[in-house]
Structure 1
Amino acid sequence: MGPGVVVAGLTAAAMAVVTLLAVQADGAGSRAAAAEASAGAATEAAPSSGPAPTAPALPASSGTGYRVVYSIAGHRVWLVDPRKTPELQASFAVTPGSAEPSPGSYSVYSRTATGKGTDGRQIEHVVRFTQQSGTVFGFSAAVDGSTEPPEAGLRTGGIRSARADGQLLWDFAPTGTRVVVTP
Structure 2
Amino acid sequence: MASSSAGFVAGLTAAALATIGFLAHQASVAAPHDPGRARVSGPPAPGASKAPRDRGHPEALPAGTGRGERVVYSVDDDRVWLVGADGRVQRTFEVTPSTVDPAPGTYAVTSRSNRVTGSDGIPVEHVVRFASVDGVVIGFSAAVDGSMPEPDPDERTGGIRETRADGDAMWRFATIGQRVVVIR
Give the alignment's TM-score, normalised by structure 2. 0.67
Highest CA radius of gyration, 1 or 2? Answer: 1
Mapped partners of 2:84, 2:162: distance in 1 = 20
Counterpart AA for 2:135: G
Q: Judging by fraction of residues, say which structure has more helix.
A: 1
- The CA deviation string for residues 142-171 of structure 1, in whole angstroms up to 9 with x for no partner, is 001111122231100110000000000000
Q: How many Å separate the matches in 2 of 1:152 and 1:66?
A: 33
What's the offset of the Cα at 1:55? Answer: 4.8
Equivalent in 72, 75, 89 of residue 72 of structure 1: 75
For the 8 Å contact 1:81–1:89, the answer to whether it is kept is yes
Determine what percentage of the aligned residue pairs are the same residue: 52
| Aligned mate of 2:66, from 52, 63, 67 | 63
Count of residues in correspondence between the two structures:
128
Any residues of structure 2 matched to 1:14-93 within 5 Å, and which? 55-83=58-86, 87-93=88-94
Post-superposition Cα deviations, 1:73-120, rounded to whole Å, max 9, x if no partner, equal 100000000338xx2100000000111110000000000000000000
Q: TM-score scaled by structure 1? A: 0.67
Q: CA deviation at 1:64?
A: 0.9
Deviation, structure 1 residue 59 = 1.4
Structure 1 gap segments, 5+ residues each: 1-53
2:103 aligned counterpart, secondary structure = coil
The answer to whether the 8 Å contact 1:98/1:149 transfers is no
SS at match of 2:119: coil
